[in-house]
Amino acid sequence: MTAIVDCNSFYCSCERLFRPDLRNKPVVVLSNNDGCIVSRSDEARALGVGMAVPYFEARHIIEKHGIAVFSSNYHLYGDLSYRVMETLRTLAGDRSKVEVYSVDEAFMDLSDVPEDQLVDHARHIKTTVEQWTGIPVSIGVAPTKTLAKLANRLAKKDKIASSCVTVIATAEEQRLALQQTRVDDLWGIGGAYAVKLINQGITSAWELSNMPEEWAHSHLGGVVGVRLIRELKGLPAIFMEEELVDKKMIATTRMFGRPVTSVTEIKEAVATYISRSAEKLRRQQSAAGVVSVFIVAKEQSHSTYFRHGPTISSYTTLPHPSCLTHELIKAATGLVDQLFEEGKSYKKAGVMLSGLVPDGSIQGNLFVPPAENQHRFLMHTIDNINFAMRDDSVKFGASGMNKDWKMRQELRSRRHSTRWEELKGVK
């Protein structure tokens, strides 16, 4: 059996954890630059606040009902996510039995738990996670990942009746669950496929599960569709994946806090993102052979329909793989000169490091001056200082000093669990 543990309204739950006065009250969390609503509590949903709705469109409802609003606080959410996942690994007793699926979801292998103990075991997991981390969760348990996601959805649909735990173990339980689930609510069915299935008269997950595998291969994306049909029948076809220790590419992207028209500011942003990516690169003891940069122009405001501006990108292959921030910055800012067009406004930029190899496998260069060998020690020192002091206490001048282009987070809460100076005060 497989379980999926899903944090309830995760971003909102993180904010409530340090604001007990907001318990059982409506809360919403905004996206980058305070643009759209990306998380909402059940109370906010009941008041008519939509998901992914622009903040300015929902402001009248928010102000009318006094809904608490927060900017995204990724430092806080990342730390609390880590605590939840570590709790699950502790309960599983084996790290390989937990697969982190997203920042607020994880699959667990419960194959060792007897069927008649699944409900009690799932409730024990739920209670322990909430006691140790303060984050409420819902749990779905079933023979396959797809059915577990379905069970979790049913658990969250009626939290009072289910106590946020739903177990689908028997064939009869699977049939009932599939019959009350629409195909467009299934994990793995996108909007286009949902429309296609409904047009063919297949509206429920039960009807889809009874379709032949040959039909799925022809109409649902080949092997992927066949796996989905098998999963719906209770036959595991999507298995637990091992934790990815070393990334194959590292990217950092951010929206600007305002439209940017200066090549200098874009270079500062790109240098800042490269510095962050290089830090992650050194953390996994890798070096990058390819540096890519992209910038996104501001959408045309005079257009009849909303549309994004074009994404312009380029890359360069380094003479030799490197993890040195200054070498990567030099390559990246050179690409900005190629991409930037005078007179245009830009809203976003990003960098990506690829062609990663183990740093220890790079062959030395006899023609490099001995002084250059101290750069690795310099990078190690900078990383240690920034890890201890936070907020880029030591940085390269190319990253800029004022950073007026930084992403807006005007309603961000304090980073209670990752900054000494922002610890929650107790009176």
Q: pLDDT tens digits for 59-97?
A: 999 999 999 999 999 889 999 999 999 999 999 988 889
Q: Which residue has the higher pLDDT, 11 or 299?
A: 11
Provide the β-strand partners of residue 348.
Answer: 255, 296
Give the Cα separation of 172 and 178 in Å (integer): 10
Q: Which residue has the higher pLDDT, 151 or 300?
A: 151
Give the Cα separation of 204 and 227 in Å (integer): 17
pTM of the model: 0.83
The reported pLDDT for the residue numbered 325 is 92
**Domains (range + CATH), the chain:** 9-75 (3.40.1170.60), 76-232 (3.30.70.270), 250-399 (3.30.1490.100)
Q: Is 127 in a helix, a strand, or coil? A: helix
The mean pLDDT value for 287-316 works out to 78
311-322/286-297 β-pairing: antiparallel
Q: Contact at 8 Å (CB) between 99 and 62?
A: no
Q: pLDDT tens digits for 13-59?
A: 999 999 999 999 999 999 888 889 999 999 999 999 999 999 999 99
Residues 51-84 as b or e (16 or more Cβ within 10 Å = b): eeeebeebeebbeeeebbbbbbbebbbeebbebb
Q: Residue 343 gets which letter from DSSP?
A: T
Average pLDDT, the chain: 88
137-142/27-30 β-pairing: unpaired
Q: pLDDT tens digits for 120-145?
A: 999 999 999 999 999 999 999 999 99
**Which tokens go with 57?**
């469109």
Q: pLDDT tens digits for 241-251?
A: 776 667 889 99
Q: pLDDT tens digits for 185-235?
A: 999 898 888 998 999 899 999 999 999 999 989 888 899 999 999 999 999
The mean pLDDT value for 3-12 works out to 95
